[in-house]
Amino acid sequence: MTTAPDLFGPVRLGAIPLANRIVMAPLTRSRADADDAVTDLHVEYYRQRASAGLIITEATPISRQGKGYAYTPGIFTDLQVERWRKVTDAVHAAGGRIVIQLWHVGRISHPDLQENGALPVAPSAVKPEGMAFTETGFKPHVTPRALDVAELPGLVEDYARATRNARHAGFDGVEIHAANGYLLDQFLKDKTNLRTDAYGGSVENRMRFPLEVVDAVVAAWDKDHVGIRISPVSPANDIAESDPEAVFTPFVAALSERGLAYLHVVEGATGGPRDLGGWDPRALRPVFKGAWMGNNSYTRALALEAVATGAVDAVAFGRPFIANPDLVERLKRDAPLAEPDRATFYGGGAEGYTDYPTLDAAAA
C-alpha cells in the first residue's frame, strides 16, 4: 500500500533533502548594513525559522548593478560572503536547509541605488510605472538604459560568480530569481523586451539570456543544487506578457531538460489573487519533470490538499513566516497564526523582525 505524500513529511529537491515540504519563501526585509551585508540580526531571524523544510533567502543582488532597493544584502563581495556564512552555519546547526535567491532587478532600480548615479539597465528602454525604495524615500522609476549585447556575457558571469560565492558561504543551493518583473522576467515578456537582436522578438530569442544564465549557474555548481522561480502571469512591477502560455511552455520545457532541482511557481498575481481568470500556469506541471514548488497565498487546507494530491511537491509560504517563526509547528497543530505588522516589513531593526514569539514562548 502506498500512502499519499504528506506536507509534514520529507522530500528531496535535487540534491537537497528537506525534513518537510513547507518552504519559507523569499522575503525582502531591507535590513542589510552599509556594506549591503547581512548582520547578526539576520543570523537570528533565519535561525528562528530553521524548522522550515527549506529557507529561501530574501532576494539577493548578484552585483552592485543588480540592486534596486535600499538595504538589500548582496552576494558579490568577500565581506557579504563571510557574513552569509554565519547565517548558513546557524540554520544548519538548527537542523535546517537554506538556499540563496540570486537577483538582478534590471529596470526596477533607480540612479540613487546605482554606482555613480548610473541608469538602471534592462533589455529595452521601457520605463516602469511605480516607485523605487531608496535610502531617501520612494522615487519614481526612470527610463532604463537598454543593455548592449556585448554586456550580456558579463552579466552571465555575475550570476556564475554569485553562485560560486553562495557555495563558499555554505548554502545548500541557489534559486535563480526569474519572476516578479525583474531582469530575467523582463527578457522573457513582451511588454519589456522590445529587442530586435538575438535576445528579443521570437520566444526562442527572449528565452536566450535567461537560459544562458541558467546554464552558467549550473556550470558553476550543478543541476541538483539549482532551482528557479517564475511568475508567468503575475503583473508585479508593471510587467505583462500577451501570451504567457506560448512563452512559458517552451521555457519550462527547457528548464526541465536541464534537470533543475525544482521549479518555484508564483501561481497567480504575486501576493494577490491565485486565479486571474486567464491561462493558469499550473497547466505546466506535466512539462517539468523535477519538483514543483507552489507559492502564493496558500492556506493550511490548500497546502495539505495540494501535496496529498501530488499537485505540488512543496509549498512556499511567504508572509505567514514573518510573524510565525514556528510556522511548521503551528500548521502541524492547526494552531492560530499571528498577523504580521506591515509597518515593519521593510527596513528598521529587530522590531517586527526577530521579536515574533513561537507559540510556546507566547503561551509561557
Give the footprint of ligand 8OZ on this chain (CB under 6 A). Answer: 28, 59, 69, 180, 236, 270
Phi, psi dihedral angles at 48 (to 5 degrees): -60, -25
Q: Which is nearer to ligand 8OZ, 88 or 180 (CB)?
A: 180
List 46, 69, 71, 182, catalytic entry? 182
46 is catalytic: no
CA distances from 176 to 21, 59, 61 (A): 20, 9, 11
Sole residue written with cell 563558499: 168
Q: How far is CA 165 from the centre of its chain?
A: 17
What gap in Å lies between CA 262 and CA 260, rounded to an integer? Answer: 6
What gap in Å lies between CA 235 and CA 251, rounded to an integer? Answer: 18
Q: Which is nearer to ligand 8OZ, 80 or 270 (CB)?
A: 270
Answer for the pair 337, 324: CB distance below 8 angstroms, yes or no: yes
**Closest CB 58 distance from ligand 8OZ, rounded Å:** 7
What gap in Å lies between CA 37 and CA 49, rounded to an integer? Answer: 20
- Cell numbers linked to 162: 554569485
Q: Which is nearer to ligand 8OZ, 102 or 315 (CB)?
A: 102
**Closest CB 210 distance from ligand 8OZ, rounded Å:** 15
Which residues, 6 or more positions from 151, have their beta carbon under 8 angstroms from its beta carbon? 121
**Closest CB 105 distance from ligand 8OZ, rounded Å:** 8
**Closest CB 270 distance from ligand 8OZ, rounded Å:** 6
Q: Which is nearer to ligand 8OZ, 178 or 338 (CB)?
A: 178
Q: Which residues form the catalytic set? A: 182
